């Protein structure tokens, strides 16, 4: 079994990757080894990172997780620059679509191992086949409606697919921390485990999945993700256009006040 770590594993400052001899890839979001603060550079990098993960057939199972007991707890809004500038938003728009399409194009089982806060881009986790969450984990949406912009980047698409449209709309219009237990009741989280045990349980599941033939594993992922992939292709570009218009209006109103 291949053990060499390919060059792309170290190409992205906020994504640490390691693959074991069985082909289980753990991709860990981080900022300098601690919990990640999501930036515009990450938005750019993750387009390529998820594409490379998807096209590398040496990856047999993918586990997404976060460093420092968190998944994605925060975001640096200022790093995105002037989002009222059409040129700036064009890049945000295109990358936002490509990130989710590339995640959906990972053609092996994907597990999200969640600890702590998922305040930003929880849709990344919801594109996994299975979410394992520590009992103290929480899901929220800090960047969108609470900040004055439309949640159009795929977060509604993912949450409405996994939890139902009514729950997704209420959650996104009045964002509050959603506990792992509630997410489990909604059918979003597959398993709730003691704090600090999510990654270990994800590895156990990966070992179990590896007992199936490779073509079976790959085709099961392709089959399971297809309905959500169709919605991503249909909805996310449009949603990001609406989000961009609301972001431009928010900047305009803030400038008017000053």
Q: Are 56 and 204 in contact (CB under 8 A)?
A: no
1 found inside a domain: no
pLDDT tens across the length of the chain (258 residues)? 455 789 999 999 999 999 999 999 999 999 999 999 999 999 999 999 999 999 999 999 999 999 999 999 999 999 999 999 999 999 999 999 999 999 999 999 999 999 999 999 999 999 999 999 999 999 999 999 999 999 999 999 999 999 999 999 999 999 999 999 999 999 999 999 999 999 999 999 999 999 999 999 999 999 999 999 999 999 999 999 999 999 999 999 888 988
2 found inside a domain: no
Q: How many domains does one find in the chain? A: 1
70 found inside a domain: yes
146 backbone dihedrals φ, ψ, rounded to 5°: -65, -25
Residues involved in catalysis: 123
193 found inside a domain: yes
Distance CA 20, CA 49 (A): 18
CATH code at 133? 3.90.226.10
Could you tell me the two tokens for 228? Answer: 């959500």
197 found inside a domain: yes
211 found inside a domain: yes
What pLDDT score does 258 carry?
80
Distance CA 28, CA 158 (A): 21
Write out the residue range of the structural domain in which residue 177 sits.
7-257
158 found inside a domain: yes
107 found inside a domain: yes
Could you tell me the two tokens for 85? Answer: 């500038």
């Amino acid at each position: 079994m291949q053990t060499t770590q390919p060059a792309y594993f170290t190409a992205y400052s906020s994504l640490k990757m390691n693959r074991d001899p069985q082909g289980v890839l753990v991709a860990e979001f981080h900022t300098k080894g601690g919990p990640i603060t999501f930036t515009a550079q990450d938005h750019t990098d993750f387009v390529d990172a998820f594409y490379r993960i998807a096209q590398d057939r040496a990856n047999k199972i993918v586990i997404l997780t976060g460093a420092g007991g968190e998944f994605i707890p925060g975001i640096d809004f200022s790093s995105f620059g002037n989002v009222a500038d059409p040129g700036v938003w064009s890049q945000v728009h295109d990358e936002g679509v490509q990130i989710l399409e590339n995640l959906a194009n990972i053609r092996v089982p994907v597990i999200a191992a969640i600890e702590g806060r998922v305040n930003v881009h929880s849709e990344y986790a919801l594109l996994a086949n299975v979410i394992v969450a520590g009992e103290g984990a929480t899901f929220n949406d800090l960047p969108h409606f609470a900040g004055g912009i439309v949640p159009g980047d795929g977060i509604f698409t993912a949450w409405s697919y996994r939890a139902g449209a009514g729950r997704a709309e209420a959650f996104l219009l009045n964002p509050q921390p959603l506990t792992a237990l509630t997410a489990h009741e909604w059918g979003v989280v597959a398993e709730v485990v003691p704090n600090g045990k999510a990654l270990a349980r994800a590895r156990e599941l990966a070992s179990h999945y590896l007992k199936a033939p490779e073509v079976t594993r790959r085709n099961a992922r392709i089959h399971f993700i297809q309905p959500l992939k169709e919605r991503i292709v249909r909805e996310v570009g449009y949603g990001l256009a609406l989000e961009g218009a609301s972001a431009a209006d928010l900047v305009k109103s803030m400038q008017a006040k000053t």
